[in-house]
A = this chain, B = another copy of it.
Amino acid sequence: MQKHTQNLGNNPWRVTESSFRPEHYSLNATLFALGNGYIGLRGTFEEGLEGAADQHGCYLNGVYFSEPITYGESAYGYAKNNQRIASTALPHQLSIKLNGELMDMKRGKVLGHHRELQLDNGLLSRDLRWQTEGGQTLKIESRRLVSLTDRHLIVTEYRVTPENFSGRLEISSYLDATPAQAEASDDPRVGSGINPDDLKPLECQADEHGLLVSQRLRSSGFTLVSAATDRFHGKQPLSTQPERLGSYSAAHHHQLDAKAGETITLTKYALCYSWLHENEEVSTQKIQSHLLASCQKGFGHYAQQQRQAMDRFWQDSDIEIEGDPELQQGLRFNLFHLFQSLGRTPGTNIAAKGLTGHGYDGHYFWDSEIYIFPFFLYTQPELARNLIQFRYSLLDAARDRARELAISKGALFPWRTIGGEECSAYYPAGTAQFHINADVAYSIKQYHLATGDNQLILDVGAEVVWETARLWLQIGHYNPHRDNRFCINEVTGPDEYTALVNNNYFTNAMAQAHLRYASELYHWLQCDHPGRFEELVQNLNLSEAEVNEWREAAERMFLPYDDESGIHLQDDSFLDKPRWDFANTPKDKYPLLLHYHPLTIYRHQVCKQADTVLALFLLSENFSLEEKRRDYDFYEPITTHDSTLSACMHSILANELGYADKARHYFSQVARMDLDNHHNNTQHGVHTACMGGTWLCMVQGFAGMRIHKGQLHFAPTRPEGITHYRFKVRIQGRQLSVSVAPNGTRYQLLSGPPLTLISGDQELRLEQPNTDYTATTLREDNAS
C-alpha cells in the first residue's frame, strides 16, 4: 500500500479531516475510531463506502473467536489455536436513499466534508454536503460517541437537511453482524481472516420497538448481543418499516417527507453486550429496558457525561506543551487512544492495536506491561491495577503452557493471546520470548514502588512474581564453560531481527531483576505478612531452598559483555555477525521483514528495535552513564526502528545522554506515529505501545523522572522548539504537578503528604500543597 500524507490540522484538541479522499478512508477509519475500553468502533462512515465494507469494525475487548492454527509442518508444543478479536454488529450504520439513489461518498458529488475527532469532548463529528447525480443537495451532520459512562452504549446523532429540494427521503438504520472478509496478506502484522462458519446466529429481530441481533461464537463460546433503536427529534417519519435481513442483520426503514431547508434529526441508540458464561447472561428484556432508558436520556445527556469523563481524564493525564501544536496534537491523540483502548473489566487488557483495527488479531503482548502500563500507573493507578489482575487471571493457563514446554513447575505467559492461550504461530519470535515473564514481574514491582499498595501484591502480585520466576531455573543452567555463570540459552529478546540466541542480554538482565524481586517479596511476606506467606508458600509448594536458588542464579547471572569495546552484547554471538549493509539497502526495502527472509536478517548485526538499549532504560540503575553511552552509540546506528516500539526508547536514552537532536527527532516520530502513518500500517490499527512510549518520552525522557532506590528524581530538559511543558503524576498517595519552563522547573504538591524529590542536582522538599517549589537548573544538552 502506498503511503499518503494528509493534513490533519494543528488544533491541539482536535484531529481534523477537511476533505474526502478515498485513499485515506482505511487509515482514517483507524484514526477516528472511538472506544471506551470495552467497545471500539472504527471511524467508518455511517453509510459505509462502496468497496470498503471490510473497513468496518466494532470490536469487543476480550471477546474472541478461536480458530485452529494451520502449520505447513507442525511440531510438538506448538500453539494450537489462534484467538481473534471479535467484531460485533455495527452500531452506527445508517443509509439515505432519495429517488432510489443511495447516498455514497464515491457516487454523486461531495461538495464539502469535514470530520473532527474531538479529544476534549470524546466525540467524532462529521459535517458534509453531498449532491445526487440529479443535483439534489443534502447537508449531513453527525455526532457519534462510544459512551465512557455506560460501557455498552453507542449513540449517533444524525442530522439531514435537504438544501435545494423537497420530496420523499428514506433513512434506513441497520444492525448488521454479517461477517466481513479480511484481506489476505503475507505481512505477519496483519490479522487473519474470518471464518463465517464459526458464527451461529441466535436471534435476529426487527419490530416497532427496535432491532436485536445475537450470535454465538461456536469456537470460543462467547455470546454477542446488539440492540438498537432510533428516535426522531422534531420532524417524524411518515412510516417506519422494520425488516429482518437474513440471520445477521435487521433494519428500520424510515420514510420521510423532506422539505428544503428543514432538518431531520435522528438519534440512533445502540447497545453491545457479550458474555462467555451462562451466569453472565443478560436477558433480552433487560437489554431492551436499558435501550429504552438510554433513549429517554437523549444524546445531549450522554454528550455532557462524555465531556465530563474526558475532563476528568485530562485533568490527571494531560501533558501540555507550548511551542509545537502538531506535537501537542499528536501527544493528546495518543493519550486519548490509550484511554479509549484500556480494558476496565476483569480479563481484559490493552491490545497492540487498541480497539481500532484487526491488526495482530487484537492480541495482547508485553507491550502492555513495558510500554503502556507506566502511563496509567502514574496518572490513574486504579486503571493500572486491572492490568495486573488481568495477568493473574491468566495464571492457570500460563501454568498449563509451562507444562507443554516441559517446565515442570511455575508458569509461562503466552507471547500473544486474548484469553490466555498462546497464539504465537511462529515460536522463534513468539514463545521463545521468555522475557515476557520478567516483564510482567517488572510491572508488578513498578506498581508496588509507585503506589505502595501492599494489598494487591499480597492478593495476586506475589503469586504471579513467584510462579513466573520459577521458569528461569528450569530453562537456564550453570555453564562450566562460562565460569559456572548462570546462562539462559535458546531465547529471543525483544529485537525480532535476531532469534533463538544464547544469553540475550535483555532477557538475562530482566530475569536477574525478576529473581531478585521474587526473593525480596518472599522475605518481605515472611517478615511482614506471615499469615498470607504461609498460605501462599504452601499453595505453591515454595521452599526457602528454592528461593535461595533464585538468589544464587541472580547473583551468578551471565551478562554478556565485550571487554575490548565495553559494550553489553545483545547475545553471545552478536559480535560474530557482520553488520547489515545499510549503505546498499534502498529505502523501499524497509521494513526489512517485508523484503528479506528471516535467515538473511538473523545472519546480520541489525536490530528491528531497542533490545539492549531497552534494558538501559528499564534497569537504569545498573549502568553508568558512560556504559549507556557506549551501548547506545553502538546499537543505535544498526537499529532500523522497523518496530514502533523502538523510537521512544531511543528518545529517552538520547535524552539521558544529552543527545538533544536525536531525542527530539525520535520523539517527533513517536508522538505522531499514527497521525502521520510513519509505519504505513496504521490502517490496521493504532500502535498503542508507541502511544504509551509518548508519555514515557515526555515524563521519563525529557523530564527524566526515575525512582532510584525509592527516591524520586527528575532531570528536566526541553526539546528544541518547546518553550514549556506541564504534566501531573501520582506517586505513593500524592499527586504532583511538574512544569518545565526556560527558567527552571516548578513542582507543586497537589495532594498527599510532603515529599522530597531531586531535580537535577537540587533537592526539593515539597511541604505545602499547591505551592510552587522551583528548581532553577535545567540541563542544557548539546546536539549529538
Contact = CB atoms under 8 A, between A and B. Distances in A.
A69 B70 CA distance: 9
Contact of A71 (B425, B573, B593): B425
Given A72-B71, A74-B188, A427-B599, A489 B593 contact: no
A75 B186 contact: yes
Given A76-B186, A424-B73, A489 B596 contact: no
Contacts of A75: 186, 188, 426, 593, 597-598
Given A432-B599, A597-B406, A502 B72 contact: no
B405 A489 contact: no
A363 to B, nearest CB: 11
Q: Identify the interface centre among A82, A427, A430, A576: most chain B CB within 10 Å of its CB.
A: A576
Given A72-B425, A82-B72, A597 B490 contact: no
Given A428-B428, A573-B572, A599 B71 contact: no
Interface string A596-609: 11111011000000
Given A572-B573, A576-B479, A597 B404 contact: yes
A397 interface: no
Contacts of A575: 481
Contacts of A599: 77, 405, 427, 431-432, 490, 500
A31 interface: no
Nearest to A503: B576
A489 B576 contact: yes
A479 B572 CA distance: 14
A474 to B, nearest CB: 10
Contact of A596 (B76, B188, B475): B76
B576 A482 contact: yes
A643 to B, nearest CB: 15
A429 to B, nearest CB: 8
Interface in A379-408: 404-406
Interface in A409-450: 424-428, 430-432
Contacts of A406: 596-597, 600
B502 A499 contact: no
B405 A594 contact: no
Q: Identify the interface centre among A475, A500, A575: most chain B CB within 10 Å of its CB.
A: A500
A602 B70 contact: no
Contacts of A425: 71-73
Contacts of A77: 596-600
B188 A603 contact: no
A487 interface: yes
A509 to B, nearest CB: 18
A310 B333 CA distance: 80
A300 interface: no
Nearest to A490: B603
A417 to B, nearest CB: 14
B477 A578 contact: yes
Q: Identify the interface centre among A73, A426, A572, A595: most chain B CB within 10 Å of its CB.
A: A73
Contacts of A481: 575-576
A79 B74 contact: no
A576 B76 contact: no
A487 B500 CA distance: 18
Nearest to A424: B73
A218 interface: no
A595 B76 contact: yes
A527 to B, nearest CB: 35
A426 B72 contact: yes
Interface residues of A, number: 53
Contacts of A186: 74-76
A500 B600 CA distance: 12
Contacts of A499: 500
Interface in A50-91: 69-79, 82
A97 interface: no
A80 to B, nearest CB: 9
B424 A76 contact: no
Q: Identify the interface centre among A77, A489, A572, A599: most chain B CB within 10 Å of its CB.
A: A599
Contacts of A593: 75-76
Given A425-B71, A489-B577, A603-B490, A76 B597 contact: yes
B431 A502 contact: no
Interface string A653-683: 0000000000000000000000000000000
Contacts of A74: 186-188
Interface string A486-512: 010110000000011010000000000
B490 A602 contact: yes
Nearest to A591: B76
Interface in A465-487: 475, 477, 479, 481-482, 487
A595 B477 CA distance: 22
Contacts of A477: 578
Contacts of A577: 489
A642 to B, nearest CB: 12
A594 B76 CA distance: 6
Nearest to A578: B477
Interface string A76-120: 111100100000000000000000000000000000000000000
Interface in A547-605: 572-573, 575-578, 593-600, 602-603
A299 B131 CA distance: 84
Nearest to A190: B74
Contact of A69 (B72, B79, B188, B404): B72
A472 B406 CA distance: 37
Given A74-B186, A572-B573, 6 more contacts: A69-B72, A72-B426, A75-B598, A76-B595, A405-B600, A431-B597
Interface of A: 69-79, 82, 186-188, 404-406, 424-428, 430-432, 475, 477, 479, 481-482, 487, 489-490, 499-500, 502, 572-573, 575-578, 593-600, 602-603
21 contacts: A69-B72, A71-B72, A72-B82, A72-B426, A73-B188, A73-B426, A75-B188, A75-B426, A76-B597, A77-B599, A405-B600, A406-B596, A431-B599, A432-B599, A481-B575, A481-B576, A482-B576, A489-B576, A490-B599, A499-B500, A500-B500
